[in-house]
Amino acid sequence: MRYWDIFESELGPIKVVCDDEGVLGVEFNREGLKEGQQKTTELTKKTALQLKEYLSGERTEFDLPLKPQGTEFQKKVWEALLTIPYGQTRSYKEIAVQIGNEKACRAVGMANNRNPISIIIPCHRVVGADKSLVGYGGGLNIKIKLLHLECPGVTWKNY
Catalytic residue positions? 123
**Which of 8, 5, 10, 14 has the alpha carbon at shortest distance from 42?**
5
Residues 85/87/88/89 CA torsion (nearest 10 deg):
110
Alpha-carbon distance of 122 to 62, in angstroms, equals 11
Alpha-carbon distance of 36 to 1, in angstroms, equals 6
**11 contacts 142 by C-beta, under 8 angstroms:** yes
Torsional class of 33: left (φ above 0), alpha (ψ -120 to 50), beta (otherwise): left
